[in-house]
Chains A and B, each alone.
Chain A
Amino acid sequence: MRVRRSASLYFALAMLFGVAVLVAVVPLLPVYDPYKQDLGASLTPPFEMIGDRLSLFGTDQLGRDILSRLALAGQVSLFIGLATVVLSLFIGVALGLIAGFFRGWPDTLIMGLADLQLSIPRVLILIAVAAIVGSTIPVLVLLLALTSWVAYGRVARAMAMSLREREFVLSAVTQGASATWNIRKHLLPNVMPQMLIVGSFELGQVIVLEASLSYLGLGIQPPLPSWGLMISEGQSYVEFDPWLSLLPGICIFMLVAGVQFLTQAFTSETDAEGEPAPRPTT
């Protein structure tokens, strides 16, 4: 994989740097306290003084420090996103390779399950299950992972199907290699780079999904902050205190855009053209 030093790359790095500062540096600041309510100082706009100290991003309807809450919410979002990607990548690669390498009934079964999942909009599965089972962080991660393994599974299966017919796998078979050997030595190393690309696209998707669920009240439960929840809470004040829902939205955007543009810098979408060159000027 080659990184192109493109505008996308620098944009991505800038966005991700911003998020990194928010989740890693802000908690070290003395003002950091995401839970402390101060009804007297509720809905303070950004850059105003509360008493003797500057409230950088203002406070919410309960007077809690928005900057601190954004930072904590970012940690939660990142944790959920990364944990989900790791878990779903693991499930997806395992099932995809099994389906693609062995074919037959495991393939029918696994791909049937995948088709079934794809035939229900993902948000709806999440809503239905979260509504019935409840939504703690482990449940959310598990749910998100169980609904997003298909992306990895389908790609891994397609690659496994083509790899198992490749000559280097066949020749290993003639040398006595078992299925486990081939999957471990040939399929997995060849599938992983592509899986990481899928994973980085999925990371953005999962973060948005989590935010959407939280926005609908089905994700992170208060008092734990979440960007989606903060937007939802701020929506009632959108007319006069728009920063309440603007700031968390900007955070989601920075994280998701950063991840997406970084992936794009690695994969290159705007590639060369197969057209006849314009006539030369000798």
Chain B
Amino acid sequence: MLKFVIRRVGQSVLTVFGVLTAAFFLVRLAGDPVVLLLPVEATEADIALMREALGLDEPLIVQYLTYLRNAAIGDLGMSLRQQSPALGLVLERVPATLELALTAFVLGIVMAFGIGITMRLSTSRRLRAAILWVAFIRQAVPVFWFGLLMILLFAVHLRWLPSLGRGGIEHLILPALTLATYELALYLRLFNASLGEEQKQDYVRTAYAKGQTRARVILRHMLPNALLPLITIAGLNLGVLLGGTVVTETVFSWPGVGRLIVQSVSQRDYPVVLAGVLVISLIFVVINLVVDLLYAVIDPRVRLA
């Protein structure tokens, strides 16, 4: 187990390092970083000053090492539009993003769990087919358009909920539901497929041969096995969720990292864009690490291997 933890943590560190490296070379490959990193109206003098400040006259490898060292102490450069460190601007927005993403994640997984087990326990094939259909339909609707439909229905027509911004719980409902229903659709399908796969296993027949009831076979025997692939996919899919957050934040003007990134793109504030991408990647890497460790706790095959 210790070996597994060490190896897995090492892998995560390597990933973060890889992301940092990719970001560095992306900026270099795209052309003169100074042009990217300075506002369009910058003067020649500004450019020269920037060059020196960034150490661009140094060899590439030295620049790279400097960049890594700065990144390690949390220095990801200054915002071009606001006179403050890019990382600080991003970190200010992290709570809003986490609030939205985690609410949606928990909402999605809890609903998927409840509905998934219910539909497996029920003997009605029609019910199961109907639920899967709805899940399929929901998956075909892009997050941003679904958000728009929600605004149209609940904010514009019914006037039950606010459509924009962050505030009390009523502000959270629409964006969280928009994201959560997408998650729900995906998890439901996975959960159903995974339970269906378990149902074919020999140990299920053994459990029935013991005289176990159908409900107990599903809950005690199949469920723990079916959860394992679901955890993996849920972990990987957090990337999609966090990506969805970027879009959702824009639709609902939610002041999170995603909206900051999109705004910074239109303002050509690249240090902030990169800082935002790095921070979200870091969050994602950490969550995936936790998921994998969780997996090992549940599955004796991984724990003992």
Contact = CB atoms under 8 A, between A and B. Distances in A.
A–B direct touch in complex (beta carbons closer than 8 A): yes
Interface of A: 7-8, 112, 115-116, 118-125, 127-129, 131-133, 204, 208, 211-212, 215-218, 228, 231, 235, 238-239, 242, 245-246, 249, 252-253, 256-257, 260-261, 264, 269-271, 273-276
B271 to A, nearest CB: 12
Contacts of A119: 15, 18-19, 239, 281, 284-285, 288
23 contacts: A116-B15, A116-B18, A118-B236, A119-B18, A119-B239, A121-B280, A125-B277, A127-B273, A129-B26, A131-B265, A132-B26, A132-B270, A133-B30, A211-B145, A217-B266, A231-B144, A231-B145, A235-B251, A245-B148, A249-B148, A252-B141, A274-B205, A275-B208
B75 to A, nearest CB: 19
B15 A123 contact: no
A239 B156 contact: yes
A127 B136 contact: no
Interface in B184-208: 189, 192-193, 196, 199-201, 204-205, 208
B265 A120 contact: no
Contact of A121 (B140, B200, B239): B239
Contacts of A127: 246, 261-262, 265, 273, 277
B95 interface: no
A216 to B, nearest CB: 5
Tell me if A's interface is mostly helix, strand, loop or mixed.
Answer: helix
A242 B143 CA distance: 17
A218 B250 CA distance: 13
Nearest to B269: A131
A216 B129 contact: no
Interface string B195-228: 0100111001100100000100000000000000
Nearest to A261: B136
Given A115-B15, A124-B280, 13 more contacts: A7-B133, A115-B11, A124-B242, A124-B261, A132-B27, A132-B270, A212-B247, A215-B142, A217-B266, A238-B152, A256-B142, A269-B192, A275-B199
Given A118-B239, A216-B262, A235 B148 contact: yes
B199 A274 contact: yes
A120 B247 contact: no
Interface in B81-112: none
B136 A260 contact: yes
Nearest to A240: B156
A120 B20 CA distance: 11
Contacts of B189: 269
Contacts of A215: 142, 144, 247, 250
Contacts of B196: 270-271, 273
A149 B293 CA distance: 27
Nearest to B189: A269
Contact of A270 (B132, B148, B156): B132
A140 to B, nearest CB: 15
B80 interface: no
A126 to B, nearest CB: 9
